[in-house]
Every structure is written in C-alpha cells, then in structure tokens.
Structure 1
Amino acid sequence: MRIVVVGASGTIGRPLCAELSKRHELITAARSGGDVSVDITSAKSIEQMYQKIGRVDACVCVAASGALDRFADLTESELLENMRGKFFGQINLVLIGQRYLADNGSFTLTTGIFADEAWPGVTGGAVISGGLHSFVLSAAIELPRGLRINAVSPTMVADSVEDFGHLFPGMEPVAMERLIRAYANCVEGGETGGIIRAYR
C-alpha cells in the first residue's frame, strides 16, 4: 500500500513509520522535515498536500495533541483554538481526502482516553476526542467507494512518562509496541467505524 502518515516526526509517528515502512510505501508529512509539509490547521494546506502526493491507499494522522487547560478559566475562544488542529484538522483530512484516496482506502485518526475517562485539566481534549469518536461513527456509514475510517484512542504513551507522567499521576501508560500495533491493524485490517481503545 501507499500510505501517508501525518505527524510522522512526532513521538508516535517515528516508530509508526518504522513499522509500516517494512511492508508499505510511506509518505511522511509534517510541519517540517517530512517528504511533504502540511499544516493541519489549514484546509488549504491539507488540500495542497493531497494534490502533491497524489493517490494514496491510506492516511494515518498522529499529529496534534490536545492542550492542557484550567476549567475555571476555559473560554470559548481558547477551546476553538485548541480544536483547530486535532479536531478540525483531522476532520479535514477526511473530508478533503475522500476525493484523493484510492477505492477501499482507509483513514486512521487519533483521539484519546479523555473521551471516556474524566481527568482534571483536559476538558478541551475530552471534548475534541469525544467529538472525533462521533465523527468516525458517522463517517463510517457515509464514506463512498468502500473507504474505511477508524480512530485509535491511546492513553499516555510509555515513551512520554518522563516528560508528562507528573501531570497524570496514577495513569497507566500504554506500551509503544502495543499502540503501534493498533494503528497497523487499522490500516491493514478491514474494520471501519472502530474506536480502538489501546489502553484496554
């Protein structure tokens, strides 16, 4: 398969590309340093990316993380700003990308544990991930030409515990190997409309 990985230079993107490249032709996309540059906060940039790379069999997005927030000070404008990348960016990868993916191709998005488990300081991330879950369920029955869509919902990745573990005391991390396997299964399998909770 010919696969574009958006967010290829990130914590999850690097090992994911290493795994998928064993079996597939990969195109890496990132703000900088990839085969093609893309800013997922911009629909125009996403369109330009697809035009540049041509037909692909799969698009995997592991870009953009949900920002931390303080509920007492959270505002509509702050929430909308946080949604530009992880929420609207991933949705636009699908809405625009459905015209560029080959028949029976697939989209794999990234959400997160906070859609299902409440945690202080992540209301924006919870809203974004929950909304993406609903989008995946709806898109799965609407996408044409046999296109599939799934989302991988990770918790904190074991590789990030040293940097972020203090923010989420008591949270069990997911091993990177297990997480990468979840993404690979979405690309290489036949499921659609799945929310793959990699932490369970």
Structure 2
Amino acid sequence: MKILLVGATGAIGRQVKAALEVRHEVITAGRSSGNLQVDIADAASIEHLFKQAPALDACIVTAGSSHMESFQTLREESLLPDIRSKLLGQVNLVLIGQHYLNDRGSFTLTSGILADEPARGTAAASVVSGAIHSFGMAAAAELQRNLRINVVSPGLAADSYAAIGHLFPGFNPVPMQKLVNAYLKSVEGVINGQVIRVYE
C-alpha cells in the first residue's frame, strides 16, 4: 500500500512509521519535517498535500496536540487553537482526502484517552478527543467507494510516561507495541467506524 502518515516525528508516529515501512510505501508529512509539508490547520495546505501525493491507499494522522489549562481560566480563545489543529485538521484531512484516496482506501485518526477518562486541566483535550470519536463514527456511515475510517484512542504512551506521567496520576503507561498494533489493525484490517481504545 501507499500510505500517507501525517505526524511521523512524535512518540507514536515514529513507531507507526517504522512498523509500516517494512511492507508498505510510507510518505510522511509534517509542518516542518517529512517528505512533504502541511499545516493541518489550513484547508488549502491540506488540499495541496493530497495533490502532491496522488493514488493513496491510506491516510494516518498522528499529528495535533492539545494544551493543558486550569478549567477556571479556560476560555474560548484558548480552545480555538486545539480545535483548529487536532480536531478540524483531522476532519479536513478526511473531508478533502476522500476525493483523493483510492477506492477501498482508509483513514485512521487519533484522539486520546481523555475523551473517556479526563484528568485535571484537560477539558480542552477532552472536548477535542470526544469530537473526533463522534466524527469518525458518523463519517463511516457516509463515506463512499468503500472507503473506511477508524479512530485510534491512545492511552498514556510508555515512551512519554517519564516526561508527562506526573500530570496523569493513576494512568497506566501503555506499551508502544500495543499502540502501534491499533494503527495496523485499522490500516491493514477490515474494521470500519470503530474507536480503537488502547488504554492498558
């Protein structure tokens, strides 16, 4: 398969790339790194990306971040960057990409455990991840040409635990191979419209 991986430099993206490129052609894209550049907060940039990488069989997104902030200080203006990037960025990759992927192609988006198990200061991330879950399920019902879509909802990645584990008391680190396998299941398998939760 010819696979576009948006966000290949993070803890999860690096491992997914390594697993896929053993048997597939992987094209990486990022804001300032990768084979191609894209700003997922900009629909025109996404359109240009797909024009540069024609005849794709799959698009995986592991890009996009959400900030942590006290609920008492959270305001609309601080929510908007997360919504534009991680939420609308992934939504637009599907809305635009559906016109470029090959028949029977697939999209794999990334949400996160905070949709189901929020921690202190994570209301923004919880809103975004929950919306991605809902979008993935709704899009699966309407995508045409046998296109598939799934959402991987990672728990606290083991490779990130040392750096940020203290912010998520009681959360168990998830082995990287389990996270990678969720993406492989989505891309190489047959499931559609699923939220693949990898929390333990």
Instruction: Give the structure-1-normalised TM-score.
Output: 0.98
| 2:31 corresponding residue in structure 1 | 31
Question: 2:62 matched to 1:62?
Answer: yes
In the alignment, which residue of structure 2 is the partner of 1:195?
A: 195
1:125 matched to 2:125: yes
- Aligned-pair CA distance for 1:20: 0.2
Structure 1 counterpart of 2:46, one-letter code: I
1:65: how far off? 1.7
Equivalent residue letter for 1:165: G
Aligned-pair distance for 1:118?
2.6
What corresponds to 2:179 in structure 1? Answer: 179
2:110 equivalent to 1:115: no
- Matches of 1:77 and 1:32, distance apart in 2: 25
Partner of 2:157: 157
**Contiguous gaps of at least 5 residues in structure 2:** none
Rounded to whole Å, the distance in 2 between the matches of 1:92 and 1:145 is 18
Query: How many angstroms does 1:15 deviate by?
Result: 1.1
1:9 is matched with 9
Write out the 4+ residue segments of structure 1 that deviate beyond 6 Å after TM superposition.
none
**Which residue number corresponds to residue 91 of structure 2?**
91
Moved more, 55-64 or 79-88: 79-88
Q: CA deviation at 1:11?
A: 1.3
CA offsets per residue over residues 81-105 of structure 1, 9 Å max, x none?
2211110000000000000000000
The 1-side partners of 2:10 and 2:55 are apart by 24
Give the structure 2 partner of residue 141 of structure 1.
141
CA positional deviation for 1:9 = 1.6
| TM-score, with structure 2 as normaliser | 0.98
| 3-state SS, counterpart of residue 102 of structure 1 | coil
SS in 1 for 2:131: helix
Runs (5+) with no aligned partner, structure 1: none
Distance in 2 between residues matched to 1:183 and 1:194, nearest whole Å = 12
Residue in structure 1 matched with residue 105 of structure 2 by the alignment: 105
Q: Distance in 2 between matches of 1:6 and 1:113?
A: 20
CA offsets, 1:62-90, max 9 Å, x none?
00122111100110111122211110000
Mapping of 1:61-80 within 5 angstroms? 61-80=61-80
C-alpha distance in structure 1 between counterparts of 2:95 and 2:109, whole Å: 13
Question: C-alpha offsets along residues 115-157 of structure 1, whole Å, 9 cap, x if unaligned?
Answer: 1113210001001011111101110000010000000001110
* Structure 1 CA distance for aligned equivalents of residues 65 and 33 of structure 2: 19
d(CA) in 1 for partners of 2:171, 2:157: 10
1:13-54 CA distance string (max 9 Å, x none):
111101000111110111122110111111111111000111
